[in-house]
Amino acid sequence: MKNGIVGFGLVGTGMAGGFHARELSFVDGAKLVAVCSRNEENVRRFADEYGVEQRATDYRDLLDNDAVEVVGVLTPTGSHREIVVAASEAGKHVLVEKPLETTLAKADEMIQVCRENRTKLGVIFQMRFGLVGAKLTKLVASGALGKIHLADAIDKSSRTAAYYASAAWRGTQKLEGGGCLMTQSIHIVDLLQWIVGPVKSVTGRVATKRHKIEVEDTAAALVSFDNGAMGIIESTTSVSPALKSRLEIHGENGSVVANAQYDKFLLWDVKDYPQEEVDPPSPLTDIDDPWAYPQTRHRVQLQDMTDAVREDRDPMLTGEDARVSLAIVSAIYESSRTGREIFLETLKPGSL
């Protein structure tokens, strides 16, 4: 650390790269010092836009840069393991965009290497740090809902053929590792399990209904929780128009429905608990523009990663934390492939 400032180097100049670069300018004690993209024109344009002097077309150059202490891995999912392992071996801390990787085995290797090297591994699941995530966590932890009976995650988004054609890695098994579940809906899968409690088992089915891609664009699963609740996960990019993404939680003492993408409550009816502000009734349809999501939630995790380095502690969302939602998605894929109910216990580290 130079003068108490933590230097960040970003690998990847796509949408996530823009989010990180913009939000880093608001983070106390952090500075964007280097950026990397395999495309020379992209990295030049990006570096010029955000005033970054050090630029590279090979991520290894960032690892040789003493000014870089945290490497932001913002590349396609299937490339995460290689970069994270190399960064950790070079003594760098790492902040990775979700999901960790395409498989649990690769994720476990990343977690193990970082622990062995005593380098920090944080993962971006920014929806945890918005209004909906905070208030639902508090509500459920308080016990005010009573025993939870049903808890659903519903994410019906829409993607065009042009979206999948916009980058060679989109829709591929090797680099995306999955479709709507892995890339779009893993955010609310993560919220569902984090708020309601550990998932015990899933029974699911995935299919490719609309798009000419290698991975699913439609998925549904029945979920059983350790606390006795049950629920569903629905995920798709095959419908049109997009509908509002929702978490729906129903307990003995009431119900809450929330849109975590835009941090809005659609229904709040909980006995003997303060009423939260609810969005006025609106159409079920939704814009489907990732650029429109609140980006300040990234700022929370970037600030935390900076503080974790300065204070020598774990980030508040570790590789182990991020592995949980990847295990749930992986279990749904396994259930669809085998036709069986898959128990999450069988996917714990060391059991694969």
Tell me, yes or no, whether 122 and 135 share the same domain. Answer: no
Percent of the chain with pLDDT over 90: 91
What band does 284 get if pLDDT is binned at 50, 70 and 90? Answer: confident
Position 264 in a domain: yes
How far apart (Å, rounded) are the C-alpha atoms in residues 158 and 240?
Answer: 6
Residues 68 and 50 in one domain: yes
Laid out side by side, the sheet with 148-156 consists of: 264-270, 254-259, 246-251, 148-156, 230-236, 218-225, 199-207, 342-343
Classify residue 117: in a domain, yes or no.
Answer: yes
What integer is the mean pLDDT of 337-346?
98
User: Is residue 311 domain-shared with residue 336, that is, in the same domain?
Assistant: no
Helix (H, G, I), strand (E, B) or coil at 169: coil
Answer whether residue 3 shows pLDDT above 90.
Answer: no
**Is residue 340 pLDDT above 80, yes or no?**
yes
**1 lies in a domain?**
no
Whether 349 is in a domain gets the answer no
Does 86 reside within a domain?
yes
User: How many structural domains is the chain composed of?
Assistant: 2
Task: Say if 247 falls within a structural domain.
Answer: yes
Q: Which pLDDT value is given to residue 293?
A: 66
Confidence of residue 280 (pLDDT cuts 50, 70, 90): confident
Whether 267 and 301 share a structural domain = no
The pLDDT of residue 350 is 79
Q: What is the pLDDT of residue 295?
A: 67
Range of the domain at 14: 6-126+296-318
Do 57 and 169 reside in the same domain of the chain? no
Run of H or E including 62: helix 59-63
pLDDT cut 70: percent of the chain above it: 96
Pair (264, 151) in one structural domain: yes
State the DSSP H helix or E strand holding residue 54, giving kind and residue range, or none if neither.
Answer: strand 54-56
Report pTM. 0.95
User: Has residue 57 got a pLDDT over 90?
Assistant: yes
Task: Say whether both 135 and 218 belong to one domain.
Answer: yes
Task: Specify the CATH number for the domain of residue 24.
Answer: 3.40.50.720
pLDDT confidence of residue 2 = 72
302/245 same-domain check: no
**CATH number of the domain that 149 lies in?**
3.30.360.10
Closest CA to 262 of 275, 285, 245: 245
In a domain, 154, yes or no: yes
Residue 314 burial (CB < 10 Å; 0-12/13-18/19+)?
Answer: middle
User: 174 and 139 share a domain?
Assistant: yes
- State mean pLDDT over 17-46: 96
β-bridge pairing 148-156 and 230-236: parallel
Residues 6+ apart with CB under 8 A from 152: 192, 231, 232, 233, 234, 246, 247, 248, 249
Predicted confidence (pLDDT) at residue 291 exceeds the cutoff of 60 = no
Residues 97 and 230 in one domain: no
Q: Which of 93-107, 119-133, 241-255, 293-307 is the least confident region?
A: 293-307
Do 136 and 237 reside in the same domain of the chain? yes
Residue 351 lies in a domain: no
45 plus 132 within the same structural domain: no
pLDDT digits (tens, 9 = 90+) for 102-161: 999 999 999 999 999 999 999 999 999 999 999 999 999 999 999 999 999 999 999 999
Q: What is the pLDDT of residue 132?
A: 96
